[in-house]
Amino acid sequence: MITANMPSVPEMEQEIIEDFALFDSWDDRYEYIIDLGKKLPALEDQYKIDENKIKGCQSTVWLIANYENGKVYYKAESDAVIVKGLVSLLIKVLSGQSPDSILEARLDFIKAIGMDTHLAPTRSNGLRAMVKQMKNYAMAFKTLQEIGNTK
């Protein structure tokens, strides 16, 4: 599990922007993303159910979330490897953060590394819906926490 003193969302975003600055061609950027996609641990089959499915027009993303000690932890997978690489970046930035940091996350790094077309409303690859779902989980955990605190 990730330790308590992990970098903040903006720090993580900055780190990724710096990683991508090393590449000067689209091919190199995509090869790096593909590599991340291949390295993302597979989601256990038991979680690959409709309930966790975020359906895109072409590719599918499965997403699960857990809440531990005030932090949200995500696990996800996709049937397309480039989407999986992008999913891996989103997990790197958001997993292990507090619900508030997740809800406030601007995710500007996606544009900075030239991958914003993948999140455009016209790209129905499930990624945009995944970001929304990640934030929904954060909101839900935050609400549960608040209800718990008032009891």
Partner 1 sequence: MIETSTILPAFDVQAIRKEFPILKREVKGKPLVYFDNAATSQKPQIVIDTISNYYSFYNANIHRGIHSLAEEATAAFENTRLTVQEFLGATSNEEIIFTRGTTESINLVSQTWGRQNVRKGDEILISAMEHHSNIVPWQILCEEKEAVLKVIPVEDNGELDFNAFKNLLSNKTKLLAIAHASNALGTINPIKEMIKEAHSAGAVVLVDGAQSTVHLNIDVQDLDCDFFAFSGHKIYAPSGIGILYGKKALLESMPVFQGGGEMISEVTFEKTTYNDLPYKYEAGTPNIADTIALKTALDFIRSKGKEAIRHYENHLLEYATALLKVIPGVRIIGEARDKVSLVSFVVEKVHPQDIGLILDNQGVAVRTGHHCAQPLMARFNIPGTVRASFALYNTTEEIDTMISGLHKAIKILS
68: its two tokens: 């531990």
| 52 vs 101 by CB, closer to partner 1 | 52
Residues that bind partner 1 (CB under 8 A): 26-27, 30-31, 34, 57-59, 79-83, 125
Contact 90, 58 (CB under 8 A): no
- Count CB neighbours of 107 within 10 A: 18
What is the smallest separation between the CB atom of 65 and partner 1, expressed in angstroms? Answer: 24
| 33 vs 65 by CB, closer to partner 1 | 33
| 38 vs 106 by CB, closer to partner 1 | 38
What is the smallest separation between the CB atom of 26 and partner 1, expressed in angstroms? Answer: 4
| 21 vs 57 by CB, closer to partner 1 | 57
What is the smallest separation between the CB atom of 74 and partner 1, expressed in angstroms? Answer: 21
72, amino acid identity = V
Closest CA to 10 of 81, 98, 105: 105
4, amino acid identity = A
Catalytic residue among 21, 49, 57, 120: 57
> Would residue 57 show up in a list of annotated catalytic residues for this protein?
yes
Q: Which residues pair with 67 in a beta bridge?
A: 72
Q: If DSSP states are collapsed to H, E and C, what string results for 90-149? A: HHHHHCCECHHHHHHCCCCHHHHCCCHHHHCCCCCCCHHHHHHHHHHHHHHHHHHHHHHH
What is the smallest separation between the CB atom of 57 and partner 1, expressed in angstroms? Answer: 6
Residues designated catalytic: 57
